[in-house]
A and B are shown apart, each in its own frame.
Chain A
Amino acid sequence: DTGVSQNPRHKITKRGQNVTFRCDPISEHNRLYWYRQTLGQGPEFLTYFQNEAQLEKSRLLSDRFSAERPKGSFSTLEIQRTEQGDSAMYLCASSTIQGGSYGYTFGSGTRLTVV
């Protein structure tokens, strides 16, 4: 598989529960990005990693959100104490070390619904 893989595709959770999403990037891509997309909006940047180091975080990433990339391969995004406003599509992307000069490859996303 040469694409970016995200799991699960869909997640429905009750308000207050914790959820975790996984992203497997293209194997030779050093950079990994998380974005959030709400209905009718473009994707908004959350955070990015170069290898295992988290180099940038958006202020959208509140204290309830945490992302990891422990071995520089797959990444997880955890949301604690979910709120209805967290309902969105969470997109993962990866790119080469050139930082996206050749484009960012996106996964199909995880759609989160908080009820």
Chain B
Amino acid sequence: AQSVAQPEDQVNVAEGNPLTVKCTYSVSGNPYLFWYVQYPNRGLQFLLKYITGDNLVKGSYGFEAEFNKSQTSFHLKKPSALVSDSALYFCAVRDGSGAGSYQLTFGKGTKLSVIP
């Protein structure tokens, strides 16, 4: 079984400050990790992924995430938050070992509010 935990329901940050949205995961095989963003009444937009390689992954809109195997974490970060970053952020995992399912398992989401 695979699972994702996003321990914070909401994160508030001042515009211009760095932001972190936390994610930890559990998967039996190789983790394929994803971050998606969702705006109100919209579908999910892909931000970035970790499949293999460098632990620091850079994605869209200035976001990056750091894969930490020992802590089974994949936290989303941005050096300087914008008001337009305010949205719902989802972390997701799937087993990339080849024996696992192709389904993505999502966390419950973290609402990011960037305060002007």
Contacts and interface: CB of A to CB of B under 8 A. Distances in A.
Nearest to A3: B43
B31 interface: no
Given A106-B43, A107-B43, A100 B102 contact: yes
Given A33-B103, A100-B32, A101-B51, A42 B46 contact: no
A42 B106 contact: yes
A41 B109 contact: yes
Size bracket, chain A contacts: 20 to 34
Contact of A42 (B43, B51, B107): B107
Contacts of B32: 100-101
Nearest to A10: B41
Contact of B103 (A45, A106, A108): A45
A56 B102 contact: yes
B103 A48 contact: yes
A40 interface: yes
A16 to B, nearest CB: 26
A69 interface: no
Contact of A41 (B41, B51, B108): B108
Contacts of B42: 108-109
Given A91-B44, A103-B34, A103-B49, A48 B102 contact: yes
Contacts of B34: 103-104
Interface of A: 4, 6, 31, 33, 40-45, 48, 55-56, 58, 91, 93, 95, 99-109, 111
